[in-house]
Amino acid sequence: MLGLKQSDLASKAMITRSVLMGLEQHGRKLPDQLALSQVREAILREGLVFVDASEAAGEGVRWARPSGKVWVDCLSDARAMLGYTLDELSEKSGVGRYVIARLENTRRKRINEQSARRLRDVLFEKGVIVLDEEADLGAGVRLRSGLRADK
């Protein structure tokens, strides 16, 4: 969501890129708690907040403050949460790859509402909720309760 390269986030967290890569590994053993804490603090400083799991929904991340973003601005983040490529999401949704890419482009001129709703529905079916902005919080993404994001 921050649009940072691994090297940039590692620098902001004051850890090496290889340590960050280790934290991101799916099958990692116990992570280094200090490094994890430093990454968390760097992400918070950049304006994101972590959303804890509740009985209603799973964990997630969102902007700490409203910014005028619409939920469509989080489509690429939801896709990333599932680990889907453009082609995979296109295949699962029936929405063309180029339509998805245009919707994910925050400089788009218009929103194809029908395609956007279809993508939101498919992402929800697969386990990710796209969060609208609220009065005091920005847009974001989170897992559905009891579900794990998987292909």
pLDDT above 70: percentage of residues in the chain? 96
pLDDT digits (tens, 9 = 90+) for 47-103: 999 999 988 889 999 999 998 888 888 999 999 999 999 999 999 999 999 999 999
The predicted pLDDT at position 78 comes to 94
Candidate from 17-26, 88-97, 118-127, 134-143 with smallest mean pLDDT: 17-26
The predicted pLDDT at position 151 comes to 45
Contact assessment for residue 89 and residue 79, using Cβ atoms and an 8 Å cutoff: yes
Q: Radius of gyration (Cα) for the chain, nearest Å?
A: 16
**Torsions phi, psi for 62 (to 5 deg):** -155, 165
Spatial CB neighbours of 142, under 8 Å, sequence gap ≥ 6: 51, 57, 58, 59, 60, 61, 62, 128, 129, 131
pLDDT of 147 strictly over 90: no
pTM of the shown model:
0.80
How deeply is 109 buried, as exposed, middle or buried, from its count of CB atoms within 10 A (0-12, 13-18, 19+)? exposed
